[in-house]
Amino acid sequence: MKRRSVRVLAAGVTVVAALLLGACGGGAGADGTETVTVAQADPGLSFAPLYVADGMGYFADEGLAVDIQTLKPDVAVAGLASDQIDYVATIGSVARQAATGVPVKVAMVWFDRTPFVIMGNSRFQDMAALRGQAVGVSGFGSSTDVALRHALRASGLDPETDVEIIQLGGGGPAGRITAIQTDQVAATPLTLPDDIIAERRGLTRLYDTTDELLIPFTGLGVSDIKLAEDPEQIAAMIRATRRALEHMAAEPEESARIISEATGTEEDVVLEALPTMVRIVSPDGLASAEALENSIAPTDGSGATPDLATAYDFDLLRAENTQQGVPAAPDRPAADG
C-alpha cells in the first residue's frame, strides 16, 4: 500500500527559519557556565538522562547549562550538521543520516535497545488484524518507523503491501494516541511511558519490541565539527548523563519526581515505566556490533549496511571509560570499527 503523510512540519525555508529562531546554543554566561543546546524528539522518558542530569546538578558540575529543545528528528539533525544545535539525543535518526553522508556521528548510547510497543485500537487484538489498515509513525525513517516495520515483518505482514503507513508529523506520542482514538490510524508504536498512558485510555498492546529490536535508542549525537573542535565539552556531557543513568537506577523515586516535573507525566506512570528503562541502559555507553549495524541498515531490508565508522565515533567515550574504569562488554565492536 502507498505511504502518505499528514501534519508534517513544512520543508525548506520555513524549517530553516524555525530552526535558527528556536535553537540557538553556545556561549558562556557571566559565571563561566557554557550554554549548550540539546534536541529531543518529544518530552518523554526516552530523554530522561537530560532531565535527571539537569535536576541533580550534574550538568552544572561540569560547567554546563543545557537548553533542551523539542524538534522533529530530521530538523534536529539538520541543525546539528549546520552547527545550530550542539547535541541531538534521537541517535537513531543521527546514525541513519550519518550513514548517508551527513557530517554527524553518535558519540554515546544511553539505551542499547529500542523499547517500542505497538499500541492499537481496541478493535484489533493482534498484529494480523492490521492487514489492510492504516498505521502511523512519527516520520518515515524514524525510530517509530523502524519499530513498526520490525513488528509487522515479525508478525508475517509486509510493510509495503499489507498496510498503509502514515506519517503523523510533529504531534508526538500524544498526537499519535489521538490519531488512534479518532480512527486516523489503527495502531502506532509508542515507547515508555506512553504505552502505559495509552493502555489506561483503552488502547491494546499488540507487539512489544523491547527485547527484540537491538537498535540503540537515545544518547548523544554530535557534529563532525564538534568532535574535532570541542572534545572536552563532549566528554563533560558523557560524564553528566552517565551519572544521571546511574541515579535513575539507584534512586528511582527521586528520578521519577524529576522526570515527572520535566515532562508533565504523572509520577506514578513514570515510576511504573522506569524499571524497564533502567534494564536497557547501556552500562558502558556503547552497543553491540549487531545493534549498531541494525541502526543503519536500510529500513526496507534491501541494500548493504554502511560501515559503522560512518555513523559512530566512540573514541571520546572509550577514553572516558578507561579513565573511570568502566569495562566494555564483550560484544562491543573494536575501537577502529
Q: How far apart are CA 165 and CA 162, in angstroms?
A: 10
Percent of the chain with pLDDT strictly greater than 70: 88
CATH 2.60.40.790 corresponds to the domain 13-113+215-324: no
Q: What HEC string does 276-308 produce?
A: HHHHCECCCCCCCHHHHHHHHCCCCCCCCCCCH
Residue 57 cell numbers, joined: 546538578
Nearest to 163, CA basis, from 175, 148, 176: 148
Q: What angle do CA 11, 13, 17 make, to 5 degrees?
A: 110
* Per-run averaged pLDDT (10 residues), the chain, 337 residues: 34 40 52 90 92 98 96 92 96 93 97 93 95 93 87 96 90 88 95 92 95 90 97 98 97 97 94 94 93 81 77 96 88 69
pTM: 0.83
Q: What is the pLDDT of residues 3-48, one digit of tens each?
A: 333 333 333 334 433 444 444 455 665 577 899 999 998 888 999 9
Domain boundaries, the chain: 13-113+215-324, 115-208
Helix (H, G, I), strand (E, B) or coil at 318: helix
CATH superfamily of 115-208: Periplasmic binding protein-like II (3.40.190.10)
Which residue blocks in the chain are alpha helix, DSSP H? 13-22, 48-55, 58-61, 73-81, 91-98, 143-154, 172-181, 194-200, 224-229, 231-250, 252-263, 267-279, 289-296, 315-324
Specify the DSSP element, H or E, that contains 88: strand 87-88
